[in-house]
Copies of this chain bind each other. A is one copy, B any other.
Amino acid sequence: MSQEIPYKIYLSEDEIPTAWYNLRADMKKKPAPLLNPATLKPLTAEELSVVFCRDLVEQELDDTTRFIAIPDEIRNFYKMYRPSPVVRAYCLEKMLGTPAEIYYKFEGNNTSGSHKLNSAIAQAYYAKKQGLKGVTTETGAGQWGTALSMASAYFGLDCRVYMVKCSYEQKPFRREVMRTYGASITPSPSNTTEIGRKILAEFPGTTGSLGCAISEAVEVATHTEGYRYVLGSVLNQVLLHQSVIGLEAKAALDKYGVKPDIIIGCAGGGSNLGGLIAPFMGEKLRGENDYRFIAVEPASCPSFTRGKYAYDFCDTGKICPLAKMYTLGNGFIPSASHAGGLRFHGMTTTLSELYAQGMMEAVAVEQTSVFEAATQFARVEGILPAPESSHAIRVAIDEALKCKETGEKKKILFGLTGTGYFDLVAYEKFNNGEMGDYIPTDEDIKKGWATMPNVDL
Contacts and interface: CB of A to CB of B under 8 A. Distances in A.
A419 interface: yes
A6 B79 CA distance: 8
Contact of A180 (B76, B179, B378): B378
A382 B118 CA distance: 13
B419 A382 contact: no
Contacts of A172: 424, 428
A7 B424 contact: no
A79 B424 CA distance: 26
A383 interface: yes
A134 to B, nearest CB: 15
A297 B141 CA distance: 36
A80 B431 contact: no
Interface in A380-395: 380-384
Given A79-B8, A111-B384, A422-B421, A379 B181 contact: yes
Given A79-B7, A421-B422, A176 B428 contact: yes
A12 B6 contact: yes
Contact of A80 (B76, B91, B109): B91
A375 interface: yes
A48 interface: no
A74 interface: no
B424 A421 contact: no
Contacts of A181: 378-379
A78 to B, nearest CB: 9
A65 to B, nearest CB: 29
A427 B425 CA distance: 20
A384 B180 contact: yes
A153 interface: yes
B110 A382 contact: yes
Nearest to A379: B153
Contacts of A8: 13, 79-80
A425 B381 CA distance: 29
Contacts of A110: 382-383
Contacts of A80: 7-8, 87, 91, 381-382
A34 to B, nearest CB: 32
A427 B178 CA distance: 11
A449 interface: no
A6 to B, nearest CB: 5
A67 interface: no
Nearest to A85: B10
Nearest to A380: B154
A177 B427 CA distance: 8
Given A6-B12, A91-B80, A431-B179, A173 B378 contact: no
A42 interface: no
Contacts of A421: 113, 173, 177, 421-422
Contact of A6 (B13, B77, B177, B431): B13
A10 B7 contact: no
Contacts of A109: 109
A7 B422 CA distance: 28
Contacts of A7: 13, 76, 79-80
A106 to B, nearest CB: 10
A305 to B, nearest CB: 29
19 contacts: A6-B12, A6-B13, A7-B79, A8-B80, A10-B10, A80-B381, A109-B109, A110-B382, A111-B382, A111-B383, A111-B384, A111-B419, A150-B379, A154-B379, A172-B428, A173-B424, A177-B427, A180-B375, A182-B379
Closest 9 CB pairs of A and B: A173-B424, A7-B79, A153-B379, A176-B424, A421-B421, A111-B384, A176-B428, A6-B13, A179-B431
Interface of A: 6-8, 10, 12-13, 76-77, 79-81, 87, 91, 109-111, 113, 150, 153-154, 172-173, 176-177, 179-182, 375, 378-384, 419, 421-422, 424-425, 427-428, 431
Given A153-B380, A154-B380, 20 more contacts: A6-B12, A6-B79, A7-B13, A7-B76, A7-B80, A8-B79, A80-B382, A110-B382, A110-B383, A111-B378, A111-B383, A111-B419, A150-B379, A150-B382, A154-B379, A176-B424, A177-B424, A179-B431, A181-B379, A182-B379
